[in-house]
Structure formats: structure tokens, C-alpha cells
A and B are shown apart, each in its own frame.
Chain A
């Protein structure tokens, strides 16, 4: 099946063969050629031509078409994580671009198919998105576009409050069986021994009593709802907020979309780096004709160029993969290498292992951005690529380079990537103050919440929960509680726990 013009169909087959030859493993990929207007539209819809109607897509479209017509940027390609994989090519690309883009796309596809983060994503998302659109249109007809859109606006405002780990947690409800001891709550268990005379020594009475007392105290503590902090705030609201059925359905749909997109946010560097690595490799070693070389080099360098001093995920990922490949090819890893202090010897180090290719395939399967950076960012790499961390200097009212130390740069980068760059917020208590108010807690990792955005978000949250909502966080190292009760914003100091 192909929607490509004949000459691209040949290119498609050729590139596919190259990609397969290098061991890339991908879903069947359907390419479509779109005009700039169409590709802007598809991009605005996040890659899905049949998305639910909402003005924010119009806004994205406006931005994309403006920046296209001003010549600021253009989209060469888009890939959708789906089985079959869909990819869109820009009609006006030159043939050499199309080649490069196809190689890029196959690598993305391979990544979608194999990386662990994507294992729980819906591979029939094309259809699912279309279903969502149909359902939301139906609600438009029934309840009016204003009502539905206003509610969607609110839900979109909290669509980062999901638990990115939740797809991997298998939850089983406990069977309600009277005899199950767990229903009676946790018991203090003695350490087992088959020598009766040792029992009192292994389990000293005072200790056991103390444990029992502790457990008892725990049991007497007022129970909260939810029992444990719930990070999937969207799910919690869907299940427990006083909502209409259609509203629950809207949350359900948007939550599903948020979970679908989350892995892409979690693997930005890896995914783009992987695709860039492979388009460069395939083009340079196989597909590029001599007369296409200059154009290819030009466009490839644009992809990995640095704009200002901001980090380019394409370049960062590409360099890291190459670095890993080299290290594993030459055996520059493990205890022996790490402990070698002789710089000359380190430079010469080459055990001719040739494990590089195998290693990077492994890496693309088992890592996400956080673990990728944590494990493979090395001191040498930070130095060679001139990475630095920056922060805000209050005195001079500007952002400045704060450090080039390996540890600080890495810490900053990891913080930035944790929870795909979003604050970790969980439902702490749904009956706060015994008044049915919702209390959220921000896990403070050193960076405060933006107070203005926090207030605006609380307003939306309140509209969903229908009772006052609060979020507990820290500002300048002091506990603070922001709240909104439907009319006024509250802000007071509170004990941060």
C-alpha cells in the first residue's frame, strides 16, 4: 500500500531495505506526501488528521503557518507512533531530503516499536483519536460547543497531572474474603526460627511490643481518602469528582491522550538522537549519491546545529549514541577503564571489542532520557560538548552560566528531565478539613511552583472539583498553601509535610 508518487515509491523501497539491513525493526510504515498547508494542519493536530475540534489546534496551526510563511521554520516530516506507523512528508522537499527523512522516519518507527516506554501506548491511536473526535462532536451537538469547549479547556489545564509510571503497575483488587488475614490489617510478624529456645532472643519482647504499639497507633490515625497519595490526579477526578457522564468521558479521553504522548516527552533526546544517528549513517554509507552529498550535508547540519546556546536534542542524542558506540567498540567501560588515571593511556585505550552497535540497540530498548543521561553522560562528553548549567542572577536580572562542573550540569539536566519536566503533584486528601475540599501536594525538589500559573490552574481545578481546592508546596523554603474557593484566592503559610 502506498500513497507515494512513483519515484518516491522506489526511494521508499530502497530506504526500507537499507534500514532493514542495519537491523532496524519497525512497523509497516505508510508515507503520505502533504502540501505545506496540510502538513501544518496535521502537525497542529499533533499528527492526527482526525483530532477532536478545539481552538488550541487552530492556535498551533496559526503559529506554524505564520512561521512557515515568514520562513522561520518548516516541518520536513512527522511520524506517528501507531501500527502501522504513519509518516508525512512535505511535498516541496527535494528528493534528497525525502531520502534523509525516510531514513529518519524508519529509525523513529524502530524506536516506537522497541523502546520500553512505548510498550503500553495504544498502537491503534489513529482510530482511537478519530473515536474521540466523534464523541466530542456528539457532545458539542448535545450540550453546545461553548459548554464542552470550556470544560475541555479546564481539563487540558491539568493534563500534566498524570502518573507516568502507572501503565507499568499491575493493580489487582484484593479478593474480599472474610478469612483473608490481610483484611484485618497488617500484623507484627515474628522472625521465624526452628529452635524454640532462640525465639525470645531473636524476637525480643520489648521490640515486639514497641512494634505492636506502633502499628496500633498507625491504625488509630484518622484515615485519609485517598489512602495513599494519588499521582494520577486526572484519574482521581474522573472517578471521584461530581461530574456529568459526558464530562467524565472527556477526562477519560484527554487522559488517554496524555498517556499516549507522555513517552514521547520522556524520550525526546533518545528518540531524536536515534533517528538522527540512523539517517546520517544510512545516507552516508548507503543511500547518498555523489551529486546529492552537498545538499544532504547542508540539511543534516541544519538539523544538528545549535541555535543560540540552547540544547539541541537531535545533536545531544546523536553525540551520545556515537559516544556510546565508540566506547563499547573500544572497550572503554568497566572497572579497569574507570580506574585508569593515565590520560595518555585512556586516549589510546582500544580493546577492539566491536560491541558498539550491539550496545546502542540495547540502549534504545531499555532506557529513557533520564536513565540515558544518568548512565551515559560522562565528564569527557560534558567537556567536549561544552555543556553548562545556567541559572537566574537576581542581582543582574538575567540568566547566567552558573557552572561547568560535571556534577552540577548533570544534576540540572536530570532535574529537567524528571517527570518529563513537570512538577510532581499528587492528591493528598479529598476531604481536607473534613469539608470535602481537595488537597494536593507538590513534591518540592528544589524548584518552586510559579505562583501565577498555580493560581490560574487551581481555578480550573476548582471548577472540576466543585469544592475549594488547595495545593501544598514550598516557596523560598517555607511551606505555603495556595487555594481557591470559587471566589477568592487564598495563600497562607502552612507546615510542609
Chain B
């Protein structure tokens, strides 16, 4: 029996989905989604749709509670949500509702909201994997693939039709012609692997807020690219005057001091690609975040040349995001603009604050490369 309420339920879900879509901007900004990532399902705390009423400001109102504690002890609100026994009509509706959305669905919503194009894969023809599948049965083949059941069935049929089958003494002897063998087919599949190489400036000028921005943005980039590719790898590089490869945890939590030499990161990135990711098999996405304050013009020149000669020819898209720090925004973005203006393979974006993440994702992924 289907319940009558399903209709209302579906309608509500539609609204919520619409709600997620419209408010996605908000979620991106607040980063409410991260940290709640379970295996593949993350829950987004969606406030249930709260029809507005005239009501009291919560903070001024206070209330009455029950339990121990002196004056001045903080109050633990508890869930306070007793089962509504026949009183549902007057329930306050402040419940945060968790709607389960898989990462895939989330990415799809992101794509729809930001109007991101599907990514055009590189080297479709070249990246091919072969897979063997057993699809049928044939009268010839190697003995190792003999299909016993089908062989005996065949023998039984033959003996029945020849009249040599005796139900009282059911002995079946297959002969050569009865034998059946499994056959296979080779499926050729275009395979697309992708690697994302995150690079971040962790010099003294990158504060916690800047890192938070990078963290949120990289979550969304990750989500979208994972939605587009089957197998995806992530590598993390941090740099100040020196660059090193780290794990994800360290990437987001390291704080160094000292100068900034961006070329060090690009060198390491180029080495990484060289060593592990031949461009014929991999779609490569380097992302670099910095506040744009490079050590010297000299170093910047070096960066440009590494990019031009070693990185760009191999990757799908190189993205540079410049995060505004309390010390202002550096020169590096302009330098890159100067050198790579109009280059399809380079995406540049300036991220002023959390609000800017939305636009920046569009800058990076809006080209569908």
C-alpha cells in the first residue's frame, strides 16, 4: 500500500532539492558540508523550511528549565523534542533536517547551479583499457573453459533423441560433439584517469581564513572532478621558499613562516607529473593557491618558464587562485595574466573572501576542460 502522504513527501523533497540548489551559494560559503563526509554519503543539514511567523527573539526570551546548577551555569538545551503525542499542530518547527545526498548528487547539483559544462576528456582514443567478459557458449574452445552443465545437458538431449537414455539407469556419457565451451568477448573501454595536484602557499602571510577558503574550494573542485572521472588521484604540495609533498591532513593544517618561492612548487609539480603521470594516460589538473606575493621578479620569470615548458603541455588545465590576505593581494596574478592572456589551458581567479568561492569555481571549471 502506498501512503497518501508520499505525494506531499515528494513535493517537499522537490522543494528541498530546489532549496539546496538555490542556496548552494550559501552552503559553499559556509562550508557546512565538510566534516560531515561519511563514506560516500554526506549529510547536509538543511534547515526544514520554516514558514515565518511573528515570534519572539530567542535570546531575549529565555525560559524555564529543570535540573542542577548554580546561577550563571550554562544551560544545555537538550533535544527538548518530545514525541508529539497528538499535539503536532502546535509544534515549533525549528528542526534541522538532514537530507542525505550522495556526493554524486551533490556534484550534479553543483554543476547545475554553476552551469558547469561536462568535462571534455583528453585523448579518448588513446586511453583504452581492455576487459574480458564471458558472454556465451560455443562448441569449440579450450578444455579449461569447458562448461560442464551445458555439456551434460547436450549429451542428455542427444541420448533422449537417440533413445539410448534409460531413466532407470541414468548414465550419461558425453561424446566429443556434446562438449560446450565458454566464449568471451573483449570490451574496449576508454578509460579516463585524472590527477589533481593541489599546491598551496603556506608562507607567513597565509592566515587561517585563507586556508579555510582553499579548503572549501578544493572540496568542491574535488567533488566535481570526481563526478566527472572514474578514478581520481589527489596529490598535495605545500611551499614557502621550499616545496614538499605532503598528505591531505598536513596540507590543510601546516603553517610555515618565511618567504615565498612559487617556482619551487612548480618544479616539484613538474617532477611529479614527469615521474608518475604520463599525459597519454592521465588527465592532469594542477591547482595552485597563493596570496600572490612572490619572492622576486626573477622567481616569477622562472615560474612562467616552468609553466610554459613543462607543465602546460602536459596538463588539461592549470588553475591559479589568488586568495586575498590581510597583507593585501600580490602581484603574481597580474604576472600570469600578462604571460598567459588568452591561453586556453590557464584559468586564473581572484578570491577575495568566502563569497568569492562560487565565482572562482566557475572561473576554473566553467570551460569544461
**CB-based contact B57/A43 at 8 Å:** no
**CB-based contact B89/A261 at 8 Å:** yes
**CB-based contact A423/B86 at 8 Å:** no
Task: Give the number of chain B interface residues (Cβ < 8 Å).
Answer: 57
In chain A, what residue has the closest Cβ to B49?
A59
Out of B65, B82, B87, B88, which one reaches A309, CB within 8 Å? Answer: B65
Number of CB contacts from chain A to chain B under 8 A:
241
Contact size range, A: 35 or more
Could you tell me the distance in whole angstroms from the C-beta of A266 to the nearest C-beta in chain B? Answer: 9
Given contacts A73-B81, A451-B57, contact A80 B13 (CB under 8 A): no
**CB-based contact B78/A309 at 8 Å:** yes
B:37-96 near A, CB below 8 Å: 48-49, 51-90, 95
Out of B12, B57, B71, B81, which one reaches A448, CB within 8 Å? Answer: B57
**CB-based contact B75/A401 at 8 Å:** yes
**CB-based contact B75/A416 at 8 Å:** no
Report if B353 contacts A (CB, 8 A). no
**CB-based contact A422/B55 at 8 Å:** yes
Q: Which residues of A contact B84 (CB under 8 A)?
A: 43, 75
Q: Which residues of A contact B65 (CB under 8 A)?
A: 309-311, 387-390, 401
**CB-based contact B52/A457 at 8 Å:** yes
Report if A321 contacts B (CB, 8 A). no
Could you tell me the distance in whole angstroms from the C-beta of B238 to the nearest C-beta in chain A? Answer: 34
- Chain B CB within 10 A, most for which of A55, A74, A396: A55
Out of B5, B10, B54, which one reaches A471, CB within 8 Å? Answer: B54
Given contacts A76-B83, A79-B85, A309-B75, contact A412 B52 (CB under 8 A): no
Give bound CA distance, A309 to B81, whole Å. Answer: 12
Q: Which residues of B contact A385 (CB under 8 A)?
A: 66
Given contacts A58-B11, A442-B54, contact A447 B60 (CB under 8 A): yes
Give bound CA distance, A104 to B210, whole Å. Answer: 58
Report if A202 contacts B (CB, 8 A). no
Given contacts A265-B90, A400-B75, contact A45 B5 (CB under 8 A): yes
Report if A208 contacts B (CB, 8 A). no
Could you tell me the distance in whole angstroms from the C-beta of A146 to the nearest C-beta in chain B? Answer: 11
Given contacts A309-B66, A309-B75, A398-B74, contact A57 B8 (CB under 8 A): yes
Out of A59, A158, A268, A306, which one reaches B53, CB within 8 Å? Answer: A158
Could you tell me the distance in whole angstroms from the C-beta of B7 to the nearest C-beta in chain A? Answer: 6
In chain A, what residue has the closest Cβ to B87?
A264
Give bound CA distance, A460 to B86, whole Å. Answer: 28
Out of B5, B12, B75, B90, which one reaches A399, CB within 8 Å? Answer: B75
Q: Which residues of A contact B74 (CB under 8 A)?
A: 396, 398-401
Could you tell me the distance in whole angstroms from the C-beta of B269 to the nearest C-beta in chain A? Answer: 44
Could you tell me the distance in whole angstroms from the C-beta of A381 to the nearest C-beta in chain B? Answer: 11
Out of B3, B89, B95, which one reaches A41, CB within 8 Å? Answer: B3
**CB-based contact A264/B95 at 8 Å:** no
Report if A161 contacts B (CB, 8 A). yes
Report if A467 contacts B (CB, 8 A). no
**CB-based contact A74/B83 at 8 Å:** yes
Given contacts A449-B55, A457-B53, contact A401 B63 (CB under 8 A): no
Given contacts A56-B51, A58-B11, A76-B83, contact A386 B97 (CB under 8 A): no
**CB-based contact A46/B88 at 8 Å:** yes
**CB-based contact B62/A58 at 8 Å:** no
A:379-428 near B, CB below 8 Å: 385-392, 394, 396, 398-404, 409, 412-413, 416, 420, 422-423, 425
Given contacts A160-B53, A306-B66, A449-B54, contact A57 B85 (CB under 8 A): no
Give bound CA distance, A37 to B82, whole Å. Answer: 19
**CB-based contact A160/B73 at 8 Å:** no
Report if A257 contacts B (CB, 8 A). yes
Out of A54, A260, A399, which one reaches B62, CB within 8 Å? Answer: A399
Q: Which residues of B contact A78 (CB under 8 A)?
A: 85-86
Give bound CA distance, A203 to B167, whole Å. Answer: 129
Q: Which residues of B contact A413 (CB under 8 A)?
A: 64
Given contacts A400-B75, A401-B69, contact A390 B83 (CB under 8 A): no
**CB-based contact B48/A63 at 8 Å:** yes
Could you tell me the distance in whole angstroms from the C-beta of B107 to the nearest C-beta in chain A? Answer: 23
In chain B, what residue has the closest Cβ to A154?
B51
Report if B171 contacts A (CB, 8 A). no
A:95-113 near B, CB below 8 Å: 108
**CB-based contact A41/B5 at 8 Å:** yes
Out of B13, B52, B71, which one reaches A62, CB within 8 Å? Answer: B13
Out of B51, B59, B66, which one reaches A386, CB within 8 Å? Answer: B66
In the complex, the 10 A-B pairs of residues with the closest C-beta atoms, listed nearest first: A308-B78, A261-B89, A58-B12, A58-B8, A456-B52, A391-B62, A265-B90, A310-B80, A58-B9, A392-B59
